[in-house]
């Protein structure tokens, strides 16, 4: 079973797959995720092309056509911070409001929010792929009232109603146990390992073998990519250090508050499960 090293997908999505040359790969990725044909047609945010290796959130908005002819916006973002649910809402809000020009009516394309989150911020037990959708407005007082869908006509004069409330996908590559349960799992394997196996056949994988091949980068692009990875590692280390420091500060506050409330050291140890040495070091720094 051979493996081929790839450029990280977050870097590729933001900096290498813009324009028609990358649409086949992205179409395959989205088609396998949604289990229906998705054809990427355009990139909606070319202003974000500016490279900022210190940025800890990478996002791209794409216009795509679904197999039923629907035009939709796909927002793909990679997040590493603990407040990522706020970033999810922020990204979706930008994808929605960006569709409305000054003085225009609110005819919206549906937004599909694809969020790739490293680590396990949500404390999932085993799952690595989550899906969320608002089901509609339910009556408060009368149980037999029909649910009102979050839908409207896609354009002026249309009698058809299309659901426009965003749908959300949450992908946790680090939770993936590398058991292939479906074709999209081949993509999750790539997200986790930056590697593609020769036997992978999911849509878009063949393009990934070529376009994301680390060996295809020029020396200048390779140096730029390595700088990006180093900056990302430094940012991750800083985040981990801050989190560890926060944990220690929280432990100290607990011990000090209990001590001021009259608890003995033995009682504090029993209640907090901290060691006696830890408690004494906090009380007598």
pLDDT band, very low/low/confident/very high, at 233 (cuts 50, 70, 90): low
CA distances 4 to 86, 193, 194, 272, Å, are 35, 10, 8, 48
Q: Whose CA is closest to 24, among 165, 204, 153?
A: 204
Q: What is the pLDDT of residue 39?
A: 95
pLDDT band, very low/low/confident/very high, at 55 (cuts 50, 70, 90): very low
Question: Quick one: DSSP state of residue 12?
Answer: I
Q: What is the pLDDT of residue 1?
A: 44
Query: At what angle are helices 219-260 and 265-272 packed, to 10 degrees?
Result: 130
- Indicate whether 245 pLDDT > 80: no
Residues 8, 226 contacting (CB under 8 angstroms) = no
Residue 213, token pair as written in the block = 């091949």
User: Which burial class, exposed, middle or buried, applies to 112 when counting CB atoms under 10 A from its CB (0-12, 13-18, 19+)?
Assistant: buried
CA distances 56 to 51, 53, 229, Å, are 12, 8, 11
Q: What is the pLDDT of residue 16?
A: 77
Task: Tell me what the mean pLDDT of segment 242-254 comes to.
Answer: 65
Q: Among positive and negative, which fits the CA dihedral 250, 253, 258, 261?
A: negative
Which of 119 and 228 is assigned the larger pLDDT?
Answer: 119
Task: Tell me what the mean pLDDT of segment 48-70 comes to.
Answer: 67
Question: Which has the minimum average pLDDT: 10-24, 56-70, 91-105, 201-215?
Answer: 91-105
Q: What is the pLDDT of residue 28?
A: 96
pLDDT band, very low/low/confident/very high, at 29 (cuts 50, 70, 90): very high
Residues 239, 80 contacting (CB under 8 angstroms) = yes
Residue 96, token pair as written in the block = 């929605």
Taking the C-alpha atoms of residue 43 and residue 129, their distance in angstroms, rounded to an integer, is 25
Helix (H) or strand (E) holding 269, with range, is helix 265-272
Percent of the chain with pLDDT over 90: 34
pLDDT band, very low/low/confident/very high, at 246 (cuts 50, 70, 90): low
CA distances 282 to 226, 232, 268, Å, are 41, 34, 12
Q: What is the pLDDT of residue 249?
A: 67
Nearest 10 degrees: Cα torsion 230, 233, 234, 240: 180
Q: Whose CA is closest to 84, among 108, 59, 109?
A: 59
How much is the mean pLDDT over the chain?
A: 81
Q: What is the pLDDT of residue 147?
A: 93
Taking the C-alpha atoms of residue 152 and residue 156, their distance in angstroms, rounded to an integer, is 10
pTM of the full structure: 0.73
């Amino acid at each position: 079973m051979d493996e081929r090293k790839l450029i990280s997908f977050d870097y590729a999505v933001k900096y290498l797959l813009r324009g028609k040359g990358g649409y086949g790969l992205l179409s395959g990725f989205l088609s396998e995720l949604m289990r229906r044909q998705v054809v990427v047609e355009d990139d909606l945010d070319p202003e974000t092309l500016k490279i900022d290796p210190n940025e800890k959130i990478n996002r791209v908005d794409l216009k795509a056509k679904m197999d039923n002819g629907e035009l939709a916006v796909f927002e793909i973002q990679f997040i590493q911070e603990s407040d990522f649910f706020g970033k999810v809402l922020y990204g979706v809000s930008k994808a929605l409001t960006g569709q409305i020009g000054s003085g225009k009516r609110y005819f919206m394309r549906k937004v599909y929010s694809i969020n790739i989150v490293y680590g396990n911020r949500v404390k999932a037990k085993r799952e690595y792929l989550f899906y969320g959708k608002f089901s509609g407005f339910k009556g408060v007082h009368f149980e037999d009232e029909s649910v009102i869908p979050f839908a409207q006509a896609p354009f002026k004069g249309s009698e058809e109603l299309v659901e426009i409330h965003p749908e959300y996908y949450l992908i946790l590559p680090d939770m993936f146990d590398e058991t292939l349960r479906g074709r999209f799992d081949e993509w999750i394997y790539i997200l986790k390992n930056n590697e593609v196996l020769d036997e992978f056949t999911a849509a878009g994988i063949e393009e990934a073998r070529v376009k994301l091949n680390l060996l295809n980068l020029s020396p200048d692009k390779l140096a730029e990519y390595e700088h990006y990875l180093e900056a990302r590692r430094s940012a991750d280390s800083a985040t981990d250090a801050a989190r560890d420091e926060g944990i220690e500060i929280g432990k100290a506050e607990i011990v000090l508050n209990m001590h001021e409330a009259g608890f003995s050291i033995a009682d504090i140890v029993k209640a907090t499960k901290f060691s006696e040495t830890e408690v004494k070091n906090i009380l007598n720094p």
